[in-house]
Homo-oligomer: A and B are copies of this chain.
Amino acid sequence: MPTYKAPLRDMKFVMNELLEADQHLAAMPYYKDNDTADADLLGQVLDEAARFVETEVLPLNQVGDREGCVRDEHGNVTTPSGFKAAYRKFCDAGWPGLDADPQWGGQGMPHLVSIAMNEMITGANVAWGMYPGLSHGAYSALAAVGTDELKQLYLPKIVSGEWSGTMCLTEPHAGTDLGIIRTKASDNGDGSYSITGTKIFISAGEHDLTDNIVHLVLARLEGSPAGTKGISLFLVPKFIPASDGSLGERNGVVCGSLEHKMGIHGNATAVLNFDGARGWLVGEVNKGMNHMFIMMNAARLGTGLQGLGLGEVAYQNALAYAKDRLQMRHEPRVSREAADPIIVHPDVRRMLLTGKAYTEAGRALALWLALSLDTEHHHPDEAKRKEAGDLVALLTPIAKAFMTDNGFNVAVQSQQVFGGHGYIAEWGMEQFVRDARIGQIYEGTNGIQALDLLGRKVLMDGGKKLQSLAGTLQAFVEEHEGDEAIGDYVNQLGKAAQQLGSLTMVIGQKAMSGPEGADEVNAAAVDFLRFFGHVVYGYLWARMAKLAQDKIDGGFDKDGFYLGKVQTAKFYFAKLFPETKALAATIKAGNDPLAVDDRAVFGWEPDLAHA
């Protein structure tokens, strides 16, 4: 059975040494007033979170995969053994409201801590973690744009964990393309709306963990314009509560079936049929897409964390196996048995270091974004809020796509360390691969993330957000290019950052050059995101290596933690960062090699008469 230990040491290194989080948080009155800015306190919360996750959540991971969720003939869904009891303990300890506002019963902790805990939860049991994860998304959207009445009725119950939340976007014919959804809303004239339609792929869509489920549903109000500009957001509770929060009648939303999936079996992926269900408008009419993006951005970072958590747990187990498994001789010998632990073989080390390098950089990125979220929401200085918000907007698609792609690849390579045993269910490695695969698909496929990054976040504002980050990188490069420890990395980083800028210019020019411009953006986007991801990870690894080398030079590396950082940075720049060389070439190749003859290559004739 796989094991998992929350990477507390590394989390605290990132928070305290890399980000110097307590100094930043102390500058924000919200955290100062809530007494939640202190590094020691945050560390204690993380320790407690780790204990909870390792004790209560981890043991349910394989059970959840084996049992899955079961739907009865009435549409009721039972979660796997132990899920409900663990969820209850989770609520009793106040974890659902960790970073929620105290006015709704939350603890007012920074995102920094809740995001670190989310990494732990997904590492231990991603399917279980999705139930509170979705609730958190619903909380964010409702808190941001709900009416006071809706907030007062729903938020305390969501923050306490008594009720859970969902995001209802996808329909059978509409996934990426929400502009064509058909679910309808009509005004009941009493402040409520009547919602009718079918939503699919609704994670945590129906279950037995909570008394009530609060669905946030995209639907089209009668008479609204076509496309994304005619979509509104509605709150549709499973049971309609009275104003005191007591549960009233069952609403017209039923789970029609559960999907049989590749992984995340412990989470109920529901088809939800809304049949004249009563709903309440959240935010403004026809602004549903904008409002939903509040949830989606949080969900995208949350999905990135799944890649991180699953990469970490897969790496941890591969590392343990590699120390234990004796196979083939090595010179010099390190065992008196007939074979040596496979960790001595360089190719095994390559696979393990890939896991370590990607997860530790991913953690640094995730917590950097978490602190930036805190800054965006709570810094007293508007310019700081804006700067942080821009960074979050720019890097969220990278956090989602790069972290889930790397997480999946790390899970696959960690499975490979196990040889044949990696393919066998009882070892648990194949579950990590299956569970990690969904992160690349949902909450906007990674291809869509890439378009969001290149099209919307980089090109649409004329490269301003990118230039702001490039300035930070440039300053770092100039400061350290002669550095003995990291000068070589910094040079590589500086060249890649410049190349990112020039590639952006080239794509931007092509994008504006004619009717095929959009195709050029689409053709380059995925490789561009990956290139950008390496620039970000390269920056973070160079910074971590510098910090660590200083500690070593100061005589503070008692357990080798800092030497580990320095050597992993070296590995990253030698073995992973060079992917940028291939990506630069494929980005430059543009759309031309993709603009093939449809009939010849794909056996497909566009029906141009219909166009």
- 1/0 contact string of A578-595 vs chain B (CB within 8 Å): 111110011001011111
Interface set of A (CB-CB < 8 Å, partner B): 170, 173-177, 179-180, 200-201, 226, 259-263, 319, 323, 326-328, 330-339, 341, 343-350, 352-353, 356, 412, 415-416, 419-426, 430, 433-434, 437-438, 440-442, 445-447, 450-451, 515, 518-520, 522-523, 525-526, 560-561, 563-564, 567-568, 570-571, 574-575, 578-582, 585-586, 589, 591-604, 606-608, 610-611
Given the known interface contacts A339-B180, A425-B261, the answer about A175 and B596 at a Cβ–Cβ threshold of 8 Å is no
Set B173, B345, B522, B564: member contacting A597, Cβ < 8 A:
B564
- A447 near B416 with CB under 8 A, answer yes
Q: Could you write out 24 A-B pairs with CB less than 8 Å apart? A: A174-B327, A175-B421, A177-B328, A259-B424, A260-B426, A262-B425, A319-B602, A330-B518, A334-B607, A343-B602, A346-B519, A347-B450, A347-B522, A349-B596, A350-B523, A350-B594, A352-B602, A423-B438, A560-B597, A567-B601, A574-B589, A575-B586, A575-B589, A580-B582
- B437 near A176 with CB under 8 A, answer no
Contacts of A450 in B (CB 8 A): 347
A377 to chain B, nearest CB (A): 31
Instruction: Among A323, A349, A571, find the residue whose CB has the most chain B CB atoms closer than 10 A.
Output: A349
Given the known interface contacts A201-B420, A262-B423, A419-B176, the answer about A581 and B585 at a Cβ–Cβ threshold of 8 Å is yes
Nearest residue, chain B, Cβ from A522? B346
Leading 3 A-B pairs by shortest Cβ distance: A560-B600, A262-B430, A336-B610
- B328 near A176 with CB under 8 A, answer yes
A346 to chain B, nearest CB (A): 4
- A177 near B423 with CB under 8 A, answer no
- A594 near B353 with CB under 8 A, answer yes
Contacts of A423 in B (CB 8 A): 261-263, 437-438, 441-442
CA distance A45 to B446 in the complex (A): 43
Copies in the complex: 2
Nearest residue, chain B, Cβ from A335? B610
- B445 near A419 with CB under 8 A, answer yes
CA distance A328 to B331 in the complex (A): 58
Contacts of A597 in B (CB 8 A): 560, 563-564, 567
CA distance A599 to B416 in the complex (A): 23
Set B174, B515, B593: member contacting A574, Cβ < 8 A:
B593
CA distance A332 to B607 in the complex (A): 12
Contacts of A560 in B (CB 8 A): 597, 599-601
Set B346, B426, B591: member contacting A594, Cβ < 8 A:
B346
Set B339, B353, B525, B579: member contacting A347, Cβ < 8 A:
B525
- A606 near B334 with CB under 8 A, answer yes
CA distance A330 to B592 in the complex (A): 17
Contacts of A426 in B (CB 8 A): 260
Given the known interface contacts A346-B591, A522-B347, the answer about A567 and B600 at a Cβ–Cβ threshold of 8 Å is yes
A408 to chain B, nearest CB (A): 8
Nearest residue, chain B, Cβ from A344? B606
A307 to chain B, nearest CB (A): 14
- B585 near A578 with CB under 8 A, answer yes
Set B262, B334, B353: member contacting A601, Cβ < 8 A:
B353
A357 to chain B, nearest CB (A): 10
CA distance A447 to B348 in the complex (A): 9
Set B341, B441, B594: member contacting A419, Cβ < 8 A:
B441
CA distance A22 to B608 in the complex (A): 43
- B416 near A594 with CB under 8 A, answer no
Set B338, B567, B601: member contacting A180, Cβ < 8 A:
B338
- A331 near B515 with CB under 8 A, answer yes
Contacts of A561 in B (CB 8 A): 600
Contacts of A611 in B (CB 8 A): 332-336
- A338 near B262 with CB under 8 A, answer no
- A420 near B441 with CB under 8 A, answer yes
A594 to chain B, nearest CB (A): 5
Set B334, B335, B422, B586: member contacting A578, Cβ < 8 A:
B586
A418 to chain B, nearest CB (A): 8
Set B345, B437, B567: member contacting A433, Cβ < 8 A:
B437
A15 to chain B, nearest CB (A): 21
| Besides the known contacts A346-B595, A349-B594, A412-B437, 7 further A-B residue pairs in the complex with CB atoms under 8 A apart | A179-B339, A319-B603, A332-B515, A334-B608, A343-B604, A564-B597, A582-B582
- B419 near A175 with CB under 8 A, answer yes
Nearest residue, chain B, Cβ from A444? B419
CA distance A579 to B526 in the complex (A): 15
- A434 near B262 with CB under 8 A, answer yes
Given the known interface contacts A349-B596, A416-B447, A611-B332, the answer about A338 and B179 at a Cβ–Cβ threshold of 8 Å is yes
Set B339, B525, B582: member contacting A581, Cβ < 8 A:
B582
Nearest residue, chain B, Cβ from A591? B346
Contacts of A603 in B (CB 8 A): 319
Contacts of A421 in B (CB 8 A): 175
